[in-house]
Structure 1
Amino acid sequence: MFALDRHASFFQHSLRLLPYHYTQTDTTRLALVFFCVSGLDLLGYLPVGDRQCSSKSKITKLDVEHWKEWVYSTCLLPTRDAFRCSPATAVPRSSASSSSSSHFDQFDYDAGHTAGTYFALCTLIILRDDLSRLDRVGMMRWLRKCQRQDGSFAAGLLRSKHNGAGAALSDDDDDNCEQKFGERDLRFGYCAAAARWLIGGDILARKKIVAADIAFDSAFEYIASCISFDGGIAMSPYAEAHAGGTYCGVGALCLLSQRKISTVLADAVVGDLVKWSLMQQVYAELDPESGSEDEIHSEPTSFSSSESPLRSPVVDRPAGFSGRTNKPPDTCYSFWAGGTLAMLELPVTSSSSSSSSSSSSSSSSSSTGSLRLLDIRANIMFLLTQTQNTMIGGFSKVAGTHPDIMHSYLGIAALAMCAETIRQNGGPESFVKADTELDTIASILPLQPLDGALCLSTSALQYAQELRSKWENE
């Protein structure tokens, strides 16, 4: 059964105090806050908007305001155009350095970060902040400056101390005044695309409030260069396809194209992406010599149920998702692969009947896309029976390990998408293989619907759309 209240307690405790094991993650503290706040949102524990939150929730409006203030006071740069990933990365600002200083002394290292900016914006949107304390124009200019010539995005931008310490960027700032830093991978491209949408960067560009938008063509070309021979997307060109990279690539395309992926990806590429994502669902192999049917090997199998040497069909077993081919299942990939499927819809073939075309058209407008094509039941059972911790709450990376914040949130996010698919496709009765599973599958239905492209609840997405409408009409 889904331990909703235990998970809510896990996130609330994590927001107050973390064990020493999390010391190494202190430089990404804002990400942990997002996971906890968004997890509570999906669980229905946040008193935001007009929502009637859970009667067991002890979270108050004062808590919500406190969390908002923490994000602004500890992570927003003085220029108000970007966020740090953590208060721990803030460094003192000094005035101009001497002429004999080294090249590295010329830059201000209290820098914004694309991932930190994404997490901050998402957290503030969930908490129903209107973003009026941000310099949205400056943030859009900053995002554009983070884009490299090859279309990829840097993690952030170091600004010259000589260009007015901490001065906001303008459209005509010379590249000699800034230095991009960070790897070339799709994570930063996705975070930049999401941040641009959340602040209405496309609206600012269309109204000529900023000189230019980000370079779409080069961004699309860079993502295309990361597509692997097997149909998935790698984090960088010529690397191995990865479920996380596939999600980031598809997510960036989805947000940059205003959720019209068919306008930037060929049907064949969409089909390959869907197929690759579905192929990452891994069924556990049971030991035929074992007397217990609950004993599961750590290595995945790739055979079909008809080829299975087991006494019972493999499709009756829990099945999570792996991140790469021939790897064991991991909680987080249920979201990375599931979120990719939620954003993609297989094209309708010309041979389809009118009734099937109508059905496909209806499903394409839903929030679950091709998610209905995976084995929903097996994925739910993997998460609830293998990696969920029903005693203290949370989800672990793999079975038998301690739960952590990231996997807890992504496990719940994956279940939220599964719950919405179940609601849209006949209810839990259509997904169970035995009556004894009905209550287990139905236990995830109280979860709030989730938008796969932004990794936010649909209620938070609706609020973001309201802000965009307001900015459009200003």
Structure 2
Amino acid sequence: MMYHLLPSPYESQEINHLTLAYFVISSLDFLNSLHLLTHKEAVSDWVLSFHLHPTTIPDPNNGQFYGFHGSRTSMFPPDQTGALLHNNSHLASTYSALAILKIVGYDLSNIDSELMLSSMRNLQQSDGSFIPIHTGGEKDLRFVYCAAAICFMLNNWSGMDKEKAKDYILHCQSYDGGFGLVPGAESQDLHVTFIEMMYHLLPSPYESQEINHLTLAYFVISSLDFLNSLHLLTHKEAVSDWVLSFHLHPTTIPDPNNGQFYGFHGSRTSMFPPDQTGALLHNNSHLASTYSALAILKIVGYDLSNIDSELMLSSMRNLQQSDGSFIPIHTGGEKDLRFVYCAAAICFMLNNWSGMDKEKAKDYILHCQSYDGGFGLVPGAESQGGATYCAIASLRLMGFIEDNLLSTCASSSLIDVPLLLDWIVQRQGTDGGIQGRPNKSSDTCYAFWIGAVLKILGGYDFVDSKALHGFLLACQYKYGGFSKFPGEFPDLYHTYYAFTASSMLEESGFNSLCPELGITQVAAKGL
């Protein structure tokens, strides 16, 4: 019955006509009833009528795929010049077509397999996956299978890079042993759930971190952005209002030279009201909290021009010290590369460099490069991964070093790049993970701090991506999130930096990273 007339509910599946025919004809074969097809030649002719034949001499590198269409409605004639403006040939339809032809005994050597397969390579992506149609679409294991089956049936493997496809397949194996359609498919849903939980209610162990509430919020909201799940924030305006409530606004006409910093507080407990005269006796606005606040606002799409950046930046100069370093808060504190980075990132996001003396900051950074090539938090300190990131990202944000310094073969008189690179590449351990300094264990967060330095310099190919992926999987918790070391419980900090590392590894489902700012490219560009 299905062979002669498909019932009306299948009308919506007309676009998959060839696949439906495959189910019917292969079913007859399994039922040992293929003899009921009395006109097999007519069946093969019907299937072949869906094959895309170029009307001009084809160029296999033009991005087109010369396979089979799935139905009549997906077939469009060429234009007056013979150009195929609407080529809808599809991998799944091509698999179905070849399977039917084999079932009815058609000799597949009659098909121009060379053109079909050489053009099929246009569908394979850089990560080894396949898109189903030359204009795009989902890329996952379904279409890797279709491509492999097509090559197998045609006895010709020129249509795909098998090694790349193999690596993609292996990346799709989940922590529980099964395979998802894309790398991290099921675990990614668990990660989203883990972050959603953190968004609604931070667990009690984070109570001691209340002073860093805004920074914890940055980890949560930016995580959702990396997981392509920012749509779960249904009230982005409420998020921006909450963040803006931490912004310090002077109650009297401010003097930008009074030593105060008019940035963002990190939490409610660090906010104190002015005294009866309006004086801010306890101003605890902080550089790191200000960076976190601006990053969140960019992520949720808030227009930063609404902020009084002139006051914020002119007062931020009060935090810069005579040696070019920054203290985090106007009452003092440690002065090191972390706060130089925060200041540079704040100026960059606000597109206004009046908040710092870039030359002094540059000189301070250069004094922090150690004898071994890495950077310490302060001049003379031991090289460390986080400090090295702050140094290189700051120099890049300030425009003192070029983008992709290594790949463009550009020379720089500022830093000893070969020595830095030598120190950096030694940080990946035999377990695949990355350490922050010599003789330390691999730690999830350094997959970002060290990896992002290589990304900025244009040397990420020096990372053994497969080994690092394996280490991150070992740190992935079965209910979502990542831990610092394999076998431990997850935490928000290491989970966030595992996401950024996964983005650099181009894992499927993660938005692209802006390595200089530590947020997604979309957020960084304000799209």
**Counterpart in 2 of 1:83?**
264
Q: Quick one: distance in 1 between partners of 2:396 and 2:268?
A: 31
Could you tell me which of 287, 312, 322 is aligned with 1:114? Answer: 287
Q: Quick one: distance in 2 between partners of 1:259 and 1:228?
A: 18
Could you tell me which of 460, 475, 480 is aligned with 1:387? Answer: 475
**TM-score normalised over the length of structure 2:** 0.60
**Counterpart in 2 of 1:216?**
358
Give, as a single letter, the amino acid of the residue that structure 2 aligns with 1:145. N
Give, as a single letter, the amino acid of the residue that structure 2 aligns with 1:245. A
Note if 1:459 corresponds to 2:525: no
Structure-2 change in CA distance of 1:31 and 1:91 (3 Å): same
Give, as a single letter, the amino acid of the residue that structure 2 aligns with 1:382. F
Note if 1:376 corresponds to 2:465: yes
**TM-score normalised over the length of structure 1:** 0.66
**Counterpart in 2 of 1:21?**
205
* Deviation sequence 1:27-83 (CA, Å, 0-9, x none): 001111001111100110013xxxxxxxxxxx2532x2221111112x111249410
Residue 264 of structure 1: how far off its partner (Å): 9.6
Q: Quick one: distance in 2 between partners of 1:407 and 1:219?
A: 29
Give, as a single letter, the amino acid of the residue that structure 1 aligns with 2:212. T
Secondary structure in structure 2 of the residue aligned to 1:108: coil
Structure-2 change in CA distance of 1:183 and 1:268 (3 Å): closer
- 1:301-450 correspondence to structure 2 within 5 Å: 319-344=432-457, 369-384=458-473, 386-391=474-479, 393-419=480-506, 444-450=507-513
Residue 93 of structure 1: how far off its partner (Å): 1.6
Q: Quick one: distance in 1 between partners of 2:359 and 2:427?
A: 30
Give, as a single letter, the amino acid of the residue that structure 1 aligns with 2:328. A
Higher relative contact order (CA 8 A, sep 6+): 1
Unmatched 5+ stretches in structure 1: 48-58, 98-105, 158-179, 206-212, 285-318, 345-368, 420-443, 467-474
* Deviation sequence 1:142-168 (CA, Å, 0-9, x none): 2222111100011022xxxxxxxxxxx
**Counterpart in 2 of 1:32?**
216
Q: Quick one: distance in 2 between partners of 1:81 and 1:92?
A: 14
Give, as a single letter, the amino acid of the residue that structure 1 aligns with 2:385. A
Give identity over the alignment, percent.
Answer: 34
Residue 277 of structure 1: how far off its partner (Å): 1.5
Contact kept? 1:140, 1:196, Cα under 8 Å: yes
Residue 111 of structure 1: how far off its partner (Å): 2.5
* Deviation sequence 1:185-214 (CA, Å, 0-9, x none): 111110000000101113xx5xxxxxxx52
- How many residues end up aligned between the 2 structures? 328
Secondary structure in structure 2 of the residue aligned to 1:282: coil
**Counterpart in 2 of 1:154?**
327
Q: Quick one: distance in 1 between partners of 2:451 and 2:190?
A: 24
**Counterpart in 1 of 2:298?**
125
Q: Quick one: distance in 2 between partners of 1:279 and 1:60?
A: 40
Q: Quick one: distance in 2 between partners of 1:113 and 1:333?
A: 24
Q: Which has the larger radius of gyration?
A: 2
Secondary structure in structure 1 of the residue aligned to 2:433: strand
Residue 267 of structure 1: how far off its partner (Å): 7.7
**Higher-strand-fraction structure:** 1
Note if 1:231 corresponds to 2:373: yes
Structure-2 change in CA distance of 1:258 and 1:405 (3 Å): same
Q: Quick one: distance in 1 between partners of 2:471 and 2:218?
A: 25
Contact kept? 1:257, 1:264, Cα under 8 Å: no
Could you tell me which of 171, 195, 199 is aligned with 1:11? Answer: 195
**Counterpart in 1 of 2:125?**
none
Give, as a single letter, the amino acid of the residue that structure 1 aligns with 2:300. L
Contact kept? 2:274, 2:280, Cα under 8 Å: no
Contact kept? 2:427, 2:436, Cα under 8 Å: yes
- 1:39-58 correspondence to structure 2 within 5 Å: 39-47=223-231
Contact kept? 2:366, 2:414, Cα under 8 Å: no
Q: Quick one: distance in 2 between partners of 1:256 and 1:60?
A: 32
Residue 110 of structure 1: how far off its partner (Å): 2.5
Could you tell me which of 324, 328, 339 is aligned with 1:188? Answer: 339
Residue 271 of structure 1: how far off its partner (Å): 2.1
Could you tell me which of 409, 420, 423 is aligned with 1:273? Answer: 420
Contact kept? 1:397, 1:403, Cα under 8 Å: yes
Give, as a single letter, the amino acid of the residue that structure 1 aligns with 2:282. Y
Q: Quick one: distance in 1 between partners of 2:461 and 2:387?
A: 21
**Counterpart in 1 of 2:241?**
69
Moved more, 263-272 or 128-137: 263-272
Q: Quick one: distance in 2 between partners of 1:265 and 1:39?
A: 34
* Deviation sequence 1:293-315 (CA, Å, 0-9, x none): xxxxxxxxxxxxxxxxxxxxxxx
Secondary structure in structure 1 of the residue aligned to 2:429: strand
Contact kept? 1:82, 1:117, Cα under 8 Å: yes
Contact kept? 1:26, 1:86, Cα under 8 Å: yes
Post-superposition, which runs of at least 4 consecutive aligned residues in structure 1 deviate over 3 A?
261-265
Structure-2 change in CA distance of 1:72 and 1:107 (3 Å): closer
Q: Quick one: distance in 2 between partners of 1:267 and 1:147?
A: 21
